[in-house]
Structure 1
Amino acid sequence: MMSIILEKIYDFLFFLFSGLCHQINERSFCDINGYQFFVCSRDTGTYIGFLVSFIIIYLINIFFYKKKHHKYINNLITNYIKVIIFIFLFYLFLFGLDGITSYTKLRETTNSIRYFTGLFMAAHMGLIFKYFELSLNNTFSTDYTELHKNISKLEFIKFILLFNFLILLFYFCSLYVFLPYLIFLLPIAIFFYFYKIIKLISNLIYFQIADINTKFIKLLPNLIFIAFSFLLLLFLITIAYFKEASIIQIYNKYIH
């Protein structure tokens, strides 16, 4: 009975997430029972990497900066955001290069490489996303304190090297130790990714009209979040119905 329920859940999630990805079998990981992941290996790296970046930031803050000010890691990200963006663009270049050169058949790639480029690109995108969240939180906060500007470059270098080392460690562990079980984390990562995006959009809209002091306006971020979530769900279901056959036909005709 339990296996039937789990299989129904798997089928529903596979259908729902088909609007996000081509879901081509040979470009996707499989779990220990041979079930294909909900999205391709590159997208798996993207969603997992985004989630893991926030987890790593939290762990670094607890285990490495516990004795410092609780906003220390926030200041690191904020003060060196330009460097973080540059590193992100580097990984984005690798992400795009791997995709373009493999689809145009200039070179062969593997699921491990696809996963690597997605993971590292999205992990640094998570740092940039964290910066935008911090900026909005500081704007809304009533006890706003100015960010420190006296953090040395050496401290940032230590942080970014540690961050990349932990991402690399996760890459190898997830790829060679618990890859088949990553399928259970993937739906959480996908929902977390869109939750963060919709929440940021809601707060940005609220920021534009926050000076209008009414009960309705204060509820607006939640209303916008619910509306965008519903529209996203509707979009994914609609795309899932109409996309699968056409994508597979194009792939088989022009790429395979």
Structure 2
Amino acid sequence: FFAGTRGVLQASAAACTGAGHWYWEDNVLYIYYTEDPDGAVDIETIKRDYCINGNSKDYVTIQNIDVKGGKVANILLSGASCIVSSVDSSCAVIDFSVTGNSNSIYSSTATSPSGTAFSIAGDSGTFYWNVISGAGGNGLLVSGASNTLYKFNITTSTSEAVDITGNTNTFYYSLLHSNLDDTFVVTGTSVTIYNNVIFDSGAAGLDADESCTFRNNIVRTSTGDDINIANTKTVTGGYNCFEDAAEAGTGTYTDTGTSTLFSTDPEFIDSASDDFRLNPH
């Protein structure tokens, strides 16, 4: 809107030849004006904070769509008991922002080139069968409590692939590989992580800054430590397979059944081609 009058979108900047003409490209607004418009005309533009704003509504279902370019997040779930499925999202900030409780997102993809793919601040949600690639920040940031997350495929996140700051969250049955920082960082209490493949971490496979349970995981080819445990913290392990010879840090790793394998190659079929199945022998 120019001085209260709606403008007319043009096909190119060169086509802006009359009053009210405008064109937008690469974050630049082109307008037609016969003098310097700075201070001479009021220009109003629309800012779309969200592609879809749940607006604190409950029992909303969103499925089978593509979303892109929200200024704050692509989808905001601020109500309860909402379902998002089969959504492809690309956002520079946050793909999926969950602040309400008991929500579910599944079978969806997220690419957040300079932000976080999933920000989960709500409690008691269920998130599964999702693919995250190329996040410029965290793949998953979980600050809510008592969420269940499983069957994720998370690759090439710039910051931590999974940053769990909330309490009593559970993460399992997932493949996490080629992430550029720590794969897991845990600062929440009573967190459980099990049955995951963690490969080619840019830093630690697990950075345990709080006591947690970590069982039945394969951790290999970490640039840093496979597992690092902070002072006074305890990781309750069991049936893990590590490439490193021992845990790192000044904390404690407990495995009462001595079932953990250190200095062990799990023998993936072809990890170079992202085939993380194990050789049958």
Same fold (TM over 0.5): no
- Which has the larger Rg? 2
Give 1 or 2: higher helix fraction: 1
Structure showing greater relative contact order (alpha-carbon pairs closer than 8 Å, 6 or more residues apart): 1
Which bin holds the TM-score, normalised by the shorter protein?
under 0.3
